[in-house]
A and B are shown apart, each in its own frame.
Chain A
Amino acid sequence: MKCSVFCGVSVDGFLARPDHKLDFLDAGGQEPHGFDEFYGSVDVVVIGRKTFEVVLTFGEWAYGKKQVVVLSSHQPDFTSIKNGVVEQMSGEPAEIVARLDKRGFKHAYIDGGITIQRFLAAGCVDRMVITRVPILIGAGIPLFGPLAHDINLHHVATRSFKGGLVQSEYEIRST
């Protein structure tokens, strides 16, 4: 099963403000930049508990009928979710990937700062599409975190959009 990251960050590398607000992601205008196509290509979404809690505040369940896995050591409260397909899992990234692969999933969308960092550090991310919004916010939830060793990236493509968004796609070379 392949694992991909598709996310927006400030130029200084934050996915969200310290209070999890995402308002600054509008700074480059809200042009379509391939998310719908990407979302159509995945069959399971893997998010952490914090991201799950933020997503719940959006009101309507954001993921439609796509299988969502919430990584958490405790059972999250799924009672408010109508018409979603969601379950809790726990374990190391490699374990999660193996279990989802056994169940027939082909392409996972990995989201949420801590979860992305854990999967990257564990060598479990195959592809990253990072869209940088033209703003510096100074503090927040960072996309990247500590690593046990350098991770070399293979640059696939970069494109920019009228409002100043710059989107780079990388494949991750396994060591």
Chain B
Amino acid sequence: MKCSVFCGVSVDGFLARPDDTFDFLMAGEQVPHGFAEFLASVDVVVMGRRTFEVVHRLGHLELYGRKPMMVLNRRALDLSSVKGGLVEQMSGEPAEIVVRLDKRGFKHAYVDGGITIQRFIAAGCMDRMVVTRVPVLIGAGIPLFGPVPHDIHLHHVATRSYGGGMVQSEYEIQSEAQVQ
């Protein structure tokens, strides 16, 4: 199963402000920038608890296109308020999550949420990243990237600019075997 990131960030690399709001991404959201096509290509969404709570509270779960959604959390979550029955809770290391979802027949996971993205990248479980940078610096917030156990080489696939000054870069993440 492949794992991809598709996200928007400020030029200084934040997915959201410290209070989880992401108004600064909104101007960019209005411009079509490939998200619909990306969403159509995935069959499962994997996100962390914090992202799930923010999105659920905003009533925006349907933005993920009614795909099965796996919320990663060590303890069981109360999902009774979620309609539609597409949300499950899972726990475990990224590699374990990937194996289990692969066994269930999923082919392409959309990984979302700062901590979750960072964990998957650090564990070598991320295959592709599409990062759209919105032309603003916000100074603090939830960072897209975090610590990694060793350098991770990226293969640049393409970069495009969109209206409103958005710059979108697509990278494949090289496995260690490819780099050596």
Q: A19: CB under 8 A from chain B?
A: no
Residue of B139, B147, B161 with most chain A CB atoms under a 10 A cut-off: B139
Q: A36: CB under 8 A from chain B?
A: no
Give the docked Cα–Cα distance between A134 and B178 (Å). Answer: 14
Q: A153: CB under 8 A from chain B?
A: yes
Report chain B residues within 8 Å CB of A148.
139
Q: A139: CB under 8 A from chain B?
A: yes
Known contacts A134-B171, A136-B148; A147 and B137 CB within 8 A of each other = yes
Report chain B residues within 8 Å CB of A12.
13, 144-145
Known contacts A160-B156, A160-B159, A166-B156; A13 and B151 CB within 8 A of each other = no
Q: B24: CB under 8 A from chain A?
A: yes
Nearest Cβ on chain A to B94's Cβ, whole angstroms = 16
Q: How many residues of B contact A (CB 8 A)?
A: 35
Contact flags A54-95 to B (C-beta < 8 A → 1, else 0): 000000000000000000000000000000000000000000
B140 to A146, Cβ gap below 8 A? yes
Nearest Cβ on chain B to A70's Cβ, whole angstroms = 26
Give the docked Cα–Cα distance between A86 and B27 (Å). Answer: 44
B135 to A166, Cβ gap below 8 A? no
Give the docked Cα–Cα distance between A13 and B140 (Å). Answer: 14
Instruction: Select B156's contact among A134, A149, A151, beta carbons within 8 Å.
Output: A134
Give the docked Cα–Cα distance between A132 and B12 (Å). Answer: 12
Give the docked Cα–Cα distance between A44 and B24 (Å). Answer: 34
Interface residues in A91-146 (C-beta closer than 8 Å to B)? 120, 130, 132, 134-139, 143-146
Nearest Cβ on chain B to A7's Cβ, whole angstroms = 13
Chain A, interface residues (CB within 8 Å), range:
35 or more
**Nearest CB in chain A to that of B168: its residue:** A158
Q: B138: CB under 8 A from chain A?
A: yes
Interface residues in A142-175 (C-beta closer than 8 Å to B)? 143-155, 157-158, 160, 164-166, 168, 170
A27 to B153, Cβ gap below 8 A? yes
A150 to B139, Cβ gap below 8 A? yes
Q: A42: CB under 8 A from chain B?
A: no
A150 to B135, Cβ gap below 8 A? no
Give the docked Cα–Cα distance between A24 and B123 (Å). Answer: 20
A135 to B167, Cβ gap below 8 A? no
Nearest Cβ on chain A to B18's Cβ, whole angstroms = 11
**Nearest CB in chain B to that of A132: its residue:** B169
Known contacts A138-B146, A152-B136, A155-B167; A144 and B152 CB within 8 A of each other = no
Known contacts A136-B152, A155-B135, A160-B156; A144 and B12 CB within 8 A of each other = yes
Report chain B residues within 8 Å CB of A158.
159, 161, 167
Q: B1: CB under 8 A from chain A?
A: no
Give the docked Cα–Cα distance between A135 and B148 (Å). Answer: 11
Q: B121: CB under 8 A from chain A?
A: yes
A150 to B156, Cβ gap below 8 A? no
B148 to A138, Cβ gap below 8 A? yes
A to B CB contacts below 8 Å, 20 in the list: A11-B145, A11-B171, A12-B144, A24-B151, A134-B153, A134-B154, A134-B156, A136-B121, A136-B145, A138-B145, A146-B140, A147-B139, A150-B24, A150-B136, A150-B138, A151-B139, A153-B165, A166-B159, A168-B11, A168-B133
